[in-house]
Amino acid sequence: MSILCRASIALSAAFLVTTASAQTIQVNKENRTIAITATDKVIVLADVATLHIGFIAFGPDNDSAYAAGSRTSNAIVKALTTAGVPNDSIESENQNVSPVQEYQIDKLTPAEKAQCKFQVTQSWTVRTNANDAAKVLDLAVKAGANQSGQIEWSLKDENAPQSEAAAKALQRARVVAAEMAKGLNASLGALLYASNETQAEPPRPLMRAMAAPAMAKADVAPLAINPRQIEKTATVYAVFAIE
């Protein structure tokens, strides 16, 4: 845990301007203060998973490729909805029907090249509970989603852990301020002002897409996927009176 604490003591006649609230706190011998900046964090398990699933299908001509893509597309969505995934949790990302470039199939045999003249690609995002990510991915792959695997992890309630981090940072600031007050043979008084600054979250690693040329066998177990931990950090600036 990285903790940053800075403290300053104002004991002479001056003014402390708190620009965030446009409020002025007078600092003098009758109203001495300690100002603290403290950072703390909380770590929670993600409870939402957003999966990126998709497929690529080939055909010897445009119509054949489109027909193959249509079958795969509808099979994937049917597998998900039949398993209970709500329709509004499945969102289209992109879809494309196009000729295959020669460099894409230059290592295939002539017979294989003849069957891969055109391609259909399609992808979706599927939002589900984090604990169901492996199950949903498994359903999609076994239905033909051979370009799938990337997962983004998030929280249903982003505010609760952020508020908890801010509360911990404020408590840390209070503890540090109390120790400093002791060093001045004084006691810590009331909290006069506090502000909260949300820290930027580090980028979340994503699971890379997996390209499976063929449909996974139905008796293969789902991948072992565990939700990621998400860190929420907050920094508070607090001004306390000392008595």
Which tokens belong to 132? 């169901």
Torsion of CA 184, 186, 191, 193, to 10 degrees: -40
pLDDT digits (tens, 9 = 90+) for 213-239: 445 566 789 999 999 999 999 999 999
* Domain co-membership, 68 together with 28: no
Give every CB contact of residue 101 below 8 A, 6+ residues apart in sequence. Answer: none
- CA nearest neighbour of 174 among 54, 35, 44, 29: 35
pLDDT digits (tens, 9 = 90+) for 160-179: 999 999 999 999 999 999 99
Distance CA 97, CA 144 (A): 17
| Domain membership flag for residue 207 | no
Weakest mean pLDDT among 103-117, 133-147, 198-212? 198-212
Please name the amino acid found at residue 133: A
* Domain co-membership, 144 together with 177: no
pLDDT digits (tens, 9 = 90+) for 51-80: 999 999 999 999 999 999 999 999 999 999
| Domain membership flag for residue 181 | yes
Q: Report the pLDDT averaged over residues 100-108.
A: 92
Cα distances from 180 to residues 6, 38, 68, 105, 189, in angstroms, run 11, 14, 72, 71, 12
* Domain co-membership, 54 together with 147: yes
Kindly state the greatest CA–CA separation across the chain: 92
* Domain co-membership, 179 together with 162: yes
| Tokens 């199939």, located at residue | 105
pLDDT: is 207 or 243 the higher one?
Answer: 243
Q: Which domain holds residue 181?
A: 5-44+157-201+233-242
* Domain co-membership, 120 together with 57: yes
Distance CA 169, CA 220 (A): 47
Q: What is the pLDDT of residue 117?
A: 96
* Domain co-membership, 24 together with 59: no
* Domain co-membership, 174 together with 92: no
Q: What is the pLDDT of residue 197?
A: 77
Q: Report the pLDDT averaged over residues 194-209.
A: 60
Q: What is the pLDDT of residue 4?
A: 35
* Domain co-membership, 53 together with 141: yes
* Domain co-membership, 53 together with 134: yes
* Domain co-membership, 177 together with 196: yes
